[in-house]
Amino acid sequence: MQVPRAGRRLIGKTRAGSTTNRPIIVNSIPKSGTHLLMQVARALPNTPYYGAFIAQTPSISLRMRTDKEICRKLSSVVPGEVVGAHLHHSEPVRETLTALNAVHLMIVRDPVDILLSEAHYLGSMNRFHRMAREFKGLGEEQRIQMALHGSKQVPSLFPEFPNRINPYLGWLRDPSVMVVRYEDINDLERRHKIVEAIVKRWYSGDDLDGEKLQSLVASCVNAINPEKSHTASRRRSSSSREKLKSHELVADLRDSLGYR
């Protein structure tokens, strides 16, 4: 996809203060609903998507990318482009996003559901993930325990649950980031209000009247389809979910993310 990207770059990179063609960074903690929010961003007009996804720890290796590597990848983002991401919070990355004048959306989810989704995903859905071999063949409870306590074989790459989540939480305190709850955008009654707020954050012109706003919102809402997510999983154990809510490795995270 380098040719259309190169052509788009000829328009000129956006910088802080620009009012048009702002790139959209859809950031998230893994298994928090990235694809759902991407559907909204990609439904906005003139927001090309070239398949770019910037992960702090790519799933195939789990090697931690440095801030310099992340910033270099972000620097290749072109005007208006939609980019998915799993980015830890850091000052260099924040400064790079500010320089891009990016619309930074961050989707969060109840940590209990993140963990249950991850346990199923690593055990049943992604055989190319660095942890797939270690999760393979485990029963549901064993998968949950490994997702909680981390890898026995490579603990430095896959530490216990809070150590995988905490590096993302700094974005929640960043006023330049719009935080979206998975539970809100996945709810038929609540998603319209959330999508409207996203459209207003993205649209930088002064001609957003009620008719245009509702037209944009309708397009984005109609694009939401959880079934199209290639990593979506609806398997949930209600008994496991209730036990995890008060687990010492989960409870503090639920507080930090506002789920208590």
Q: Is the pLDDT of residue 67 over 50?
A: yes
Q: Which residue has the higher pLDDT, 116 or 236?
A: 116
Alpha carbon of 232 to those of 30, 36, 67, 121, 228: distances in Å? Answer: 12, 10, 29, 9, 8
Q: Which residue has the higher pLDDT, 12 or 102?
A: 102
Which helix (H) or strand (E) segment holds residue 103: the answer is strand 103-108
pLDDT-derived band at 14 (thresholds 50, 70, 90) equals very low
Q: Which residue has the higher pLDDT, 235 or 215?
A: 215
Q: Which residue has the tokens 């503090």?
A: 252
Q: What HEC string does 45-63 produce? A: CCCCCCCCEEECCCCCCCC
Query: How many CA atoms within 13 Å lie on the side-chain side of 185?
Result: 32
Q: Mean pLDDT score of the chain, rounded to an integer?
A: 91
Question: What domains can be seen in the chain, in order of their start residue?
Answer: 2-110+165-208 (3.40.50), 112-163+232-256 (no CATH)
Alpha carbon of 161 to those of 55, 145, 151, 229, 254: distances in Å? Answer: 18, 10, 10, 23, 12
Alpha carbon of 117 to those of 125, 143, 144, 148, 188: distances in Å? Answer: 10, 10, 9, 12, 21
For residue 49, give the nearest of 4, 109, 114, 91 by alpha carbon. Answer: 4
> Radius of gyration over alpha carbons of the chain, in Å?
19
Q: Which residue has the tokens 């928090």?
A: 32
**DSSP secondary structure code for residue 181 in this structure:** E
Tell me the pTM. Answer: 0.90
